[in-house]
Structure 1
Amino acid sequence: MSLTLYEKLVHQHMVAEIDAEHVLLYVDFHIMNEYTSPQAFAGLHAAGRSVRRPEAHLAVVDHVNPTQSIRSLHEIADAGGRLQIETLTQNCSRHGIQLFDLFDPRQGIEHVVVPENGFAWPGMVIACGDSHTTTYGAFGALAFGIGTSEIEHVLATQTLVYKTLKPMLVVVDGVLPFGVTAKDIVMAFVADVGAAGASGYAVEFTGTTVSALSVEARMTLCNMAVEAGARAAVIAPDRQVFDYLADRPHAPKPGDLEAAKAHWRSLQSDPDAQFARIVQLNAADIAPLVTWGTSPDQSAPITSVVPEPASEAHERALAYMGLSAGQNLTDIRIDRAFIGSCTNARIEDLRKAARILDGRKVADGVTAIVVPGSKQVRRAAEAEGLDQVFRQAGFEWRGSGCSMCLAMNDDVAVDGERCASSTNRNFEGRQGRGARTHLMSPEMVAAAALIGKLSDVREIMEAAV
């Protein structure tokens, strides 16, 4: 029987078939954070259960921690956040689970540290209490977010009751135009199908454009597929993935790597596999995008205007954002610029943003911060001198964490502030009560910071040629 890559991954991990829609799925690797795990451990302890395979789990502190330098947990002002971190530490110690705490040199955002340490391999099933777990699909893994009760279940059994999805193929062909990035591709996809257009689907990205992307850029694609409602996103692994994994601390050792590659090469959709839906995008038609509303699918090319509202939801979004139909997007002033998050805070993202900022200054009145996705990314950036480029341009250079992606820590925008952001969600209040978020690529955030308005990064890039 011909199968899609997604279907192969499900079949290879199916412990038992429960009914026509559900299977019991084996989970190769599970990641936890301080925010979504406490209740799961509490349930586990109340039932008198232990963790079945402690070595198949990793815990990371990333959501609630400050990104300003601290020397101890006592310096964290938020008592609730401090308690969450302390609770995770206690739970990991009790069950022998590896923890990247705030003072571990490997600490960072979970969806950054897992790939960079080689925990995510082609063919794996990976679960985490965070919706952007889809990031690991860039390696040809089936990865998805789970809820608290599911975290408890996987801790106790290393399995999950899993509802199978319909396969969707997203084909992106052609050469990306000047100034267009992976962030623009996935924002174009989300805008094309809508915020719920991929609900019930597992998305497979393919095409010549996707094949030409770096592994880090592919992570951006898979990370934001969830903003179209997809619970899984995969890309068939290739030589770029194999090369990325070589010499990573937790990847297969050199003696085992060749045998692993033989299996990984089989992780492709069969030529005659059937997809429930096929979406085709032409790379040449994609421009640098920014969001104008309060949902990731409400975006437009930077050279266009705020659209006429097509629904009551659009009217509410414009009212919240303080915008009017017909405004030039490039006339919209910003108060903040944020480069970070599990979507766009890897070393490749920082390099690209730094190239835009090099030798230039952030506009007066703009508060700009950059938060590397991990301590390892931070060290790599500093070794290349990128931190000095950001600092000299007027950006604050911070420690690693989720930071301004969500208002769950010290880094928040205040009511009415407008932020150019490299994050994945622009919901009402996402970056702070009343905060107004415009999503875009890191390069576009850098351009906005320099001009003080939403701006077309291509103009800066052309001036530098």
Structure 2
Amino acid sequence: MGSTLIEKIWRRHEVAVLPDGASLLYIDRVLLHERTGSIALKSLAEAGRVVHAPDQALVCMDHIIDTFPGRTDQTLMPGGTAFIQETRASARAAGIEVLDIGDPRQGIVHVASPELGVAQPGVTLVCPDSHTCTQGALGALAWGIGSSDAEHALATQTLVVRKPRMMRVRFEGAPTAGVTAKDMILHLIGRHGASGGAGHAVEFSGPAVEALSIEARMTLCNMAVEFAAWTGIIAPDAKTIAYVEGRPFAPTRAQWPAALADWADLHSDSDAVFDTEIVIDAADIAPTLTWGVSPQHALPVTGMTPDPVAQEDATVRAAMERALAYMGLEAGQALEGLPIDAAFIGSCTNSRLSDLRAAAAILKGRKVAPGVRAVCVPGSTQVKAAAEAEGLDGVFRDAGFEWREAGCSMCFFAGGEHFSSQQRVVTTTNRNFENRQGPGVRSHLASPATVAASAIAGAIADPRKLGAA
């Protein structure tokens, strides 16, 4: 019997099998950010332990820092300045490199790591952040951990992990015009539920996945955790190799032949057995967005909100009623045409250059509707610079968007900045939980094209009507 991709990477990194069946895995990379990094580093120092391999760790300033031009250590989050300064001091004391404010490499950790070549095929990579699975798009085994596990990984370069079950999600066929990776993952979660991947590591595959760019694959893997999966991964291919080659932390030219040989077997064998398989016809997917307070509350942009009365399960019915009430919606209400107050493009899900290009293609020559606040936050300083070199910043500004510095920003309320209570926001982020983007804020998850189209219309809009490719 053959092996899955994840099983192959697992075996390469398995130091020992423990008496209870869990594995001790070697960890190649440990990533930190200022919201949780200071906790792990400070605790490690207080215990008198040192970082085992500081050259295999990296700190990104992204979560708490603000994204206003001319930013400093001062931040809108109460106590946030201390987090920033303590993380910086602790990292430097431990000998860990910091992608700091003002560093041209700074960015959201899950954006900066791939673009610098830190994430590579076949490596194990952890970070105290749930969306670490983003980097599975490069064929890395990447997952989110807590601060205690981060401390353990820093001190020992290992972690005790219990092997998850294996799931393969195949997207067959080809999506129609205007359908993106964001629509694909929202469609999956909407159809199979926010707990559909629980207990599993998910490998995304199939012709529609192979056709995606590396950046789009990152969007797909980013939201594996919203499917309750332990991680998401995509087998590396020629696109992956081309993406990694030449990046600052990638194998050097002298190391490159050995790296290619090492990566050659990083795919699931034809006779590999998965515990669960899901097949989706990509042609069935339309531009998709959420209506409620979970990523599983997802519908085509042309859809209508569900009726809780139709649900036999009392718990499900009550949750749907609560979601509709929070979102200020009624059963059977059309999503398209629903007036909005704000539009947000950013986050580790959809803030890469290709995402900004897709939005700019919709925005060019058009204006944001009166009364709509529109904000764009590039995922990294490199993305921002590249977008500005192409003139995309001018497109966003001319349309009426705020153009920001790189960071997590209003993906979540913990950064300090937020939208106002009961404002309806169409957003490229990954979570639409209650109060996620501010107390009482009503968030609809969508692709960059859908957000841009909605900002122009002043209401939820179908991007295909504005020429989305």
TM-score, length-scaled by structure 1: 0.98
Q: What are the Cα deviations for residues 266-317 of structure 1, in whole angstroms up to 9, with x where unaligned?
A: 1011111110000000010000001000000101001111111232111111
- Deviation at 1:36? 1.1
How do 1:278-427 and structure 2 match up within 5 A?
278-309=277-308, 310=311, 311-427=317-433
Q: Which of 442, 459, 468 is the matching residue for 1:453?
A: 459
Query: Where in structure 2 are there 5+ consecutive unaligned residues?
Result: 312-316
- Output the CA distance in 2 between the equivalents of 1:140 and 1:93: 30
**CA distance in 2 between partners of 1:448 and 1:259 (Å):** 48
Tell me, which stretches of 5 or more residues in structure 1 are unaligned?
A: none
Is residue 171 of structure 2 the alignment partner of residue 186 of structure 1? no
CA distance in 2, matches of 1:459, 1:331: 13
Relative to structure 2, which stretch is displaced further, 347-356 or 409-418?
409-418
- Confirm or deny: 8 A CA contact 2:202 2:232 kept in the other structure: yes
User: Which position in structure 2 is the counterpart of 1:51?
Assistant: 51
Q: Where does 1:142-153 land on structure 2 (aligned, <5 Å)?
A: 142-153=141-152
| Aligned amino acid, residue 360 of structure 1 | R
Paired position in structure 2 for 1:442: 448
Q: Distance in 1 between matches of 2:135 and 2:343?
A: 27
Deviation at residue 71 of structure 1 after TM alignment:
5.1
Instruction: After TM superposition, list the pairs within 5 Å mapping 1:78-117 onto structure 2.
Output: 78-117=77-116
CA 1:461–1:19 in 2, change beyond 3 Å: closer, same or farther? farther
* Aligned AA (1:251): A
> Could you tell me which amino acid in structure 1 is paired with residue 9 of structure 2?
L
Amino acid at match of 1:126: L
Deviation for aligned residue 1:76:
3.1
Aligned to 1:6: 6
Q: Distance in 1 between matches of 2:150 and 2:440?
A: 32
Deviates more, 1:250-259 or 1:338-347: 250-259
Cα deviation, residue 79, structure 1: 4.8
d(CA) in 2 for partners of 1:76 and 1:207? 44
Give aligned pairs, total. 462
**Structure 1 stretch 248-257 or stretch 163-172: which is displaced more?**
248-257
1:331: how far off?
A: 2.8
Give the percent of matched residue pairs that are identical in Structure 1 and Structure 2. Answer: 50
* Structure 2: distance between partners of 1:380 and 1:19: 51
- Which runs of structure 2 are paired with 1:240-279 in the superposition (5 Å)? 240-279=239-278
Contact 2:77–2:414 (Cα < 8 Å) also in 1: no
**How many angstroms does 1:103 deviate by?**
1.5
Q: Secondary structure at the match of 1:89?
A: helix
Q: CA deviation at 1:45?
A: 2.1
* Aligned residue identity for 2:94: H
Q: SS where residue 407 of structure 2 aligns?
A: coil
- CA deviation map 1:50-101 (0-9, x unaligned): 111101100011001111023532x435451110000001101111000001
Query: C-alpha distance in 1, partners of 2:419/2:304?
Result: 25
Secondary structure of 1:365 counterpart: coil
State the partner residue of 2:127: 128
1:217 matched to 2:223? The reply is no
Separation in 2, partners of 1:394, 1:230:
38
CA contact (8 A) 2:170 2:205 kept: yes
Q: Which residue of 1 aligns with 2:197?
A: 198
Q: Which amino acid aligns with 1:9?
A: I
C-alpha distance in structure 2 between counterparts of 1:459 and 1:88, whole Å: 46
Deviates more, 1:184-193 or 1:58-67: 184-193
Partner amino acid, structure 2, of 1:398: R
RMSD: 1.2
- Whichever residue aligns with residue 154 of structure 1, its letter is A
Tell me, in whole angstroms, the C-alpha distance in 1 between the residues paired with 2:174 and 2:327: 34
Aligned counterparts of 2:267 and 2:71: Cα–Cα separation in 1: 47
Other-structure match for 2:314? none
In structure 2, relative to structure 1, the CA distance for the partners of 1:189 and 1:78 (3 Å cut) is closer
**Cα pair distance change 1:175/1:224, threshold 3 Å:** same
Q: Secondary structure at the match of 1:369?
A: strand
Q: Provide runs of 4+ in structure 1 moved above 6 Å.
A: none
SS in 1 for 2:294: coil
| Residues 76 and 415 in structure 2, CA contact (< 8 A), matched pair in contact too | no
Where 2:24 maps in the other structure, the secondary structure is: strand
Q: Which amino acid aligns with 1:69?
A: P
Q: Note the alpha carbon deviations across 1:370-395, whole angstroms, 9 max, x for none.
A: 00000000000000000000000000
| Structure-2 separation of matches of 1:286 and 1:21 | 40
Q: In structure 1, give the amino acid aligned to 2:407.
A: G
Alpha-carbon separation, structure 1, partners of 2:321 and 2:66: 35
Contact 2:107–2:379 (8 Å) recurs in 1: yes
